[in-house]
Structure 1
Amino acid sequence: MTKVSYLGKFPIVGIGASAGGIPAMEGFFRGLPARPHMAFVIVTHLNPARQSLLDEVVSRYTEMPVLVAADGMPTEPDHVYVMPANAILTIKEGRLQIRRPDAANRERKPIDIFLGALAEDQDEHAVGVILSGGDGDGTLGAKAIKERGGLTLAQVSDGSGPRNPDMPQSAISSGMIDLALPADRMGERLSRSADQCH
């Protein structure tokens, strides 16, 4: 049996989260099937001076392997990749690309940067998910994904959040969001969309 090249043949889901994002991610990953046949890349607003334990936290909510993204790492289905601290994450030809932020010109929109790169790289295979967060990061990235035929989701209020609604609300207000759902209902809808694409 020949090994199928995965690059570009399955959805790659960029997940943007900031303040209050942990409960949102718990709901999101607990709502997914064990093998959703998608790759997931988590991009957050991290303090560059602090080591992130996000990979360990997310691994409690899913049976999929959770890896800290490394430069040149290929994305594979049924894997979760977490942006490392003090990094700008992009993607090219299905491989994660990492560069260090320019201290003189500190980029403040890491979610827009990744989702924009994902849209350009994956076209209709790109999925953008905007979870809890405190500013407008992710809105331009969602627009880029929508314009290239991908799918966009943003978190709306239910009992578990979003704790900080500004980020998903900004995306929803842009008119570029396909599905506005509570985080724990996103997985089921994503799985249904992926099944329809097979």
Structure 2
Amino acid sequence: MSEISNQLEDLKESLPKNCTLVAVSKTKPASDVLEAYNAGHLDFGENKVQELTQKAEELPKDIRWHMIGHLQRNKVKYIVDFVHLIHGVDSFKLLKEINKRAKQVDRVIDCLLQMHIAEEDTKFGLDKAELDEILNSQELKEMTNIRIVGLMGMATFTEDSEQVKREFQSLKKLFDEIKNSDHINVQMDTLSMGMSGDYQLAIEEGSNMVRIGSAIFGSRNQ
């Protein structure tokens, strides 16, 4: 067995059964993705649209591609006909664009709303007021080509595990609140939080989807 498939197997064994592992393959060659695919893995995440479309073209068609990076509205059209899940929906304008483009290709696209939970300013994401505006809007009810299936968040990059824990807890609390309310086009079943450095903490706090790159593929290629 290869190093990549060994890492994958070890990781999967350590995760709860209900937790989806998104193998983050950004900057890695298609051959690495193929190795993980041949070991039985189907969920892969990319940060950049260009890299995502390139790999999707080269690699097997049953791969479930996750767009996990910041997505610009003018790039949506390049991924709508194949993307499995868009993690980083951080504005209502972006959601509307995804719906419009999905309609053109006759698809319903699953999306996660990205919340700003970190104390760093550099992270993208919605605040609570923006989230409420989206969920309670008449427009959302009329969007037939998207489905909001959960939330995504990135914790602060810090050694302070208590802070990271607090940030994950705040996202889980929000997730539960929405899950227990009644919104059209919203079906809260995915909480995407946790990366290579903090996924264990994220799982303890209720994550059921983790985005892991370096722990599978080794450190990132620059």
User: TM above 0.5, one fold?
Assistant: no
Question: Which structure: larger Rg?
Answer: 2
TM-score (norm 2): 0.32
**Higher RCO (CA 8 Å, separation ≥ 6 residues):** 1
The alignment's TM-score, normalised by the length of structure 1, stands at 0.34
